[in-house]
A and B are shown apart, each in its own frame.
Chain A
Amino acid sequence: MEWIFEPWPWYIAGPLIALIMFLLIFVGKGFGMSSNLRTMCTLCGADSKADFFDFDWKSQRWNLIVVVGAIIGGFIAANFLSNDLSVAINPETISNLKELGFNSAGEAYLPTELFTWESVGGIKALIILLVGGILIGFGARYAGGCTSGHAISGLSNLQLPSLIAVIGFFVGGLLMVHILFPLIF
């Protein structure tokens, strides 16, 4: 059972993600995380500002419970199921990242240059995280889904719209990492 405390390989994680999707299908629901953001906007009163948020949020209560679970799962995994949190990425990737100024590459779960309060206090990291979040929320709703809704659920159901969205995800991601990162960092 020692493997549980090590990072899980793709051939364990991928099938488990498929299992999660099927569990949700077999309880009569579907796998889609970003729609929770819309529900949360409605709960914050956004329905009085735009009719997009005027819907029966209670029909999405189950998905908010999944979110609570995802938070608890992260707590359990980080505190009780991990020996070492560093992520062993490709040494070439590590040297790329060090050139960009990410000295924590290979030694942490997330870059400390972005995800510590100390770094966030430097404003640049704060803006990066905020803008990243805005793009994620805006893009996911515009595209009608995120990685779970399109890349996993939609493609599993052979949906052409999901393929277009996933191609978009990659166009955006490649643009960010290859063209914009050298300008930002």
Chain B
Amino acid sequence: MRSVGYLLIGIFFGIVMFKSEAASWFRIYEMFQFQSFHMYGIIGSALVLGVIGVQVIKRNNLKSFFGQRITFIPKEKSFSRYMYGGIIFGLGWALAGACPGPIFTLIGAGFMPLLIVFAGALLGTFLYGLLRKKLPH
């Protein structure tokens, strides 16, 4: 039953990614050229509501639909892994024009060459797993 819920949330997410054009390579390029407010508006408005909602959940100790406590796990403190990792991710995001969610959405939309990006992303994740102990975190 819960699986159906996850599936529906995923479908909804895929539709929003595609219809908002956040899954379009062109929109990502335009964003990095600062030539449109579109992507900034999407991320910015999601964030404003996100910050407010998280505060509401925390201050009122809201419970999940299943009655469990909602906990937010703080991210580990560090600088180098976030900055270096972030830059590497940003290079890929701009080059392939898709972040991980839209990669899947675009495959569903029928843009099959995204399978190559997907294969690359799996390979990149695997390489990170192999090299992790040698990288500055």
Chain A residues contacting B135 (CB-CB under 8 Å) are 142
Closest to A116 in B: B113
User: In the complex the two chains form, what is the Cα distance from A131 to B116 in whole Å?
Assistant: 9
Find the residue from B33, B41, B54, B125 having the highest chain A CB count within 10 A: B125
User: In the complex the two chains form, what is the Cα distance from A119 to B114 in whole Å?
Assistant: 13
Chain A residues contacting B106 (CB-CB under 8 Å) are 74, 110
Chain B residues contacting A110 (CB-CB under 8 Å) are 24-26, 97, 106, 111
A contacts with B, residue count (CB < 8 A) = 126
A-B contacts at CB below 8 angstroms, number: 494
8 Å CB contact of A93 from B36, B89, B91, B108 = B36
**Do B125 and A141 have beta carbons less than 8 Å apart?**
yes
**Do A133 and B121 have beta carbons less than 8 Å apart?**
yes
User: In the complex the two chains form, what is the Cα distance from A8 to B114 in whole Å?
Assistant: 23
Give, as a whole number of angstroms, the nearest-CB distance from B74 to chain A: 7
User: In the complex the two chains form, what is the Cα distance from A10 to B39 in whole Å?
Assistant: 7
With contacts A37-B100, A68-B7, A159-B75 taken as known, whether A152 is within 8 angstroms of B86 at the C-beta atoms is no
**Do B130 and A49 have beta carbons less than 8 Å apart?**
yes
8 Å CB contact of A177 from B3, B29, B43, B125 = B29
User: Considering the complex of A and B, which 10 residue pairs feature the smallest CB-CB distances, nearest first?
Assistant: A69-B10, A168-B86, A73-B14, A133-B120, A172-B90, A137-B124, A143-B85, A135-B92, A132-B96, A139-B89
Does any Cβ of A come within 8 Å of B45's Cβ? yes
Render B66-109 as a binary contact track against A, CB cut-off 8 A, 1 for contact: 10101010111111011111111111111111111101111111
User: In the complex the two chains form, what is the Cα distance from A153 to B75 in whole Å?
Assistant: 11
Give, as a whole number of angstroms, the nearest-CB distance from B78 to chain A: 7
